[in-house]
Amino acid sequence: MKLSKIAETVCPSPTLSMASRVQEKRAQGVDIVDFSAGEPDFNTPDCVKEAAVQALENNFTHYTPYAGIEELRSAFAKYLADLGLEYSSSQIVVSNGSKHALKNAFTAILDYGDEVIVPAPYWNSYIDIINMCGGVPVVVKTKKSNGFRVQLDQLCEALTKKTKAIIINSPNNPTGMVYSAEELAEIGKFAVDNDLFIISDEIYSRLIYSKKLKHVSIASLGEDIKKRTVVIGGLSKSHAMTGWRVGFSASDTELAEAIGRIQSNSTSNVNSIAQKAAVAALELAEEDANAMLKQFEHRRDYIAQRISDIPFLSSLLPKGAFYIFVDVSKLIGENIGERRIETAADVADILFEKYNVAVVPSDAFGYEDHIRISYATGMREIVEGVNRIERFVKDNF
Ligand code: PMP
Ligand code: GLU
């Protein structure tokens, strides 16, 4: 019996796979530093957990409206209003994490063979999600010299008659870079001029590390841009709620209704308890989220300094999210004993096997010569992990 083409080609998420390899090593008693998955080490804030307990006690355990409870859709609308985006609650669909919101959005806009422009480095799941929806990802490689931000001439070059959408992720996973309002306006105009949808993955919008830098949503840059944009967000990163699976999409009414209908026939509503918890996160956990943000900034500063002090390694200073994208190109082509280092994956492999540090090589993100370090982990781990990376470089190069 033959499985579908999708089943045969879909890859396991490389970030989650690396996280599983870490669990396996830990189960064998190995002291491994985990810089792999982008998952906050913090506990979910108490007020959020209490709201969940309360929901259970109140027997809030039935199906809810498939697009989410009104209270939560309104709370997300208010959250977006604080970013300068006006959406009614009916334009918001609550999904099982932002990953699911992305899947719903692409299902709603793509026909078989439609192309989606994906700037690289990209978050790994975009490619598989687009493929699963019958689309064709068209990868456009950004340059380090442009701060890993896609340029207009690159978009024009990638455009074909089949282009249906472009995906923008700012702050970005894996580079931590942030687009300026001017750059986003240019991309927005490109989308308007060529009648494209914009999928704007803003899951890291609350995680920006400069008072001077503010998150700008591309949808806030004009009605004609907003109409064709799907804003994607969620609570996994900003509120340490990865396991609760709460994300959302906000879009034009017609598209939001389609996304709702798609979800109603696939997963129905998000877990009812998690929805109540999410309302508490948005209404009561501002201080907790700010405290985590401060910790992330402190970690970013530390790790960026340490990496810049290690010979042969370099990186741009991440402005947001919780990743640092480290250039290891100077190690490529060198030998360690019998082993020749050909790619960033070799670097990651040696770090994992010999130095017990888990990082994700950049081929997972459609790029070469880099490793991604997630600093969404405690300071003790960060210090130890960077010490091991430093030892790896000093021992071998
Ligand atoms: N988008 C980006 C850029 C991410 O890094 C992640 C990481 N999990 C997601 C979406 C999905 O997050 P979640 O489904 O937990 O909301
Ligand atoms: N987004 C996180 C990461 O990039 C979590 C893993 C995943 O959802 O694939 O590591």
The pLDDT of residue 111:
98
Percent of the chain at pLDDT exceeding 70 = 100
The pLDDT of residue 15:
86
358 neighbors 35 (Cβ within 8 angstroms): yes
The pLDDT of residue 145:
96
The pLDDT of residue 55:
98
Q: 203 C-alpha to center of ligand 1: Å?
A: 6
Nearest CA to ligand 2 atom 2: 38
16 lines ligand 2 (CB under 6 A): yes
Higher pLDDT, residue 14 or 146: 146
The pLDDT of residue 233:
98
User: Which atom belonging to ligand 2 lies closest to the Cα atom of 242?
Assistant: 5
The pLDDT of residue 18:
86
Model confidence at 17, in pLDDT bands (50, 70, 90)? confident
Q: How far is CA 303 from CA 117, 120, 320, 335, 360, in A?
A: 32, 23, 14, 27, 16
Dihedral (Cα; 364, 296, 281, 46), 10-degree rounding: 120
Model confidence at 349, in pLDDT bands (50, 70, 90)? very high
pLDDT digits (tens, 9 = 90+) for 174-199: 999 999 999 999 999 999 999 999 99
**Pocket test residue of 35, 36, 125 for ligand 2, highest count of atoms within 8 A of CB:** 125
The pLDDT of residue 302:
98
The pLDDT of residue 19:
86
The pLDDT of residue 150:
98
pLDDT digits (tens, 9 = 90+) for 7-16: 998 888 888 8
The pLDDT of residue 337:
87
**Pocket test residue of 15, 238, 377 for ligand 2, highest count of atoms within 8 A of CB:** 15
pLDDT digits (tens, 9 = 90+) for 237-283: 999 999 999 999 999 999 999 999 999 999 999 999 999 999 999 99
Ligand nearest to the CA of 358: 2
Average pLDDT over residues 142-171: 98
pTM of the model: 0.97
User: Which atom belonging to ligand 1 lies closest to the Cα atom of 99?
Assistant: 14
pLDDT digits (tens, 9 = 90+) for 52-76: 999 999 999 999 999 999 999 999 9
163 lines ligand 2 (CB under 6 A): no
117 neighbors 155 (Cβ within 8 angstroms): yes
The pLDDT of residue 254:
98
109 lines ligand 1 (CB under 6 A): no
User: What is the spatial distance between Cα 14 and Cα 213, in angstroms, rounded to a whole number?
Assistant: 31
Q: 379 C-alpha to center of ligand 1: Å?
A: 23
Whether residue 88 has pLDDT greater than 90: yes
User: Which atom belonging to ligand 2 lies closest to the Cα atom of 174?
Assistant: 4
131 lines ligand 2 (CB under 6 A): no
The pLDDT of residue 251:
98
The sign of the CA dihedral 96, 374, 30, 339 is positive
Q: 36 C-alpha to center of ligand 2: Å?
A: 9
The pLDDT of residue 11:
84
203 lines ligand 1 (CB under 6 A): yes
Q: How far is CA 73 from CA 102, 194, 244, 250, in A?
A: 17, 31, 16, 10
11 lines ligand 2 (CB under 6 A): no
User: Which atom belonging to ligand 2 lies closest to the Cα atom of 360?
Assistant: 10
User: Which atom belonging to ligand 1 lies closest to the Cα atom of 245?
Assistant: 15
Domains in the chain, start-ordered, CATH in brackets? 5-43+288-396 (3.90.1150.10), 60-284 (3.40.640.10)
173 lines ligand 2 (CB under 6 A): yes
Whether residue 134 has pLDDT greater than 90: yes
Model confidence at 205, in pLDDT bands (50, 70, 90)? very high
The pLDDT of residue 210:
82
Average pLDDT over residues 27-48: 95
How do beta strands 115-120 and 163-169 pair? Answer: parallel
The pLDDT of residue 329:
98
170 lines ligand 1 (CB under 6 A): no
37 lines ligand 2 (CB under 6 A): yes
Model confidence at 363, in pLDDT bands (50, 70, 90)? very high
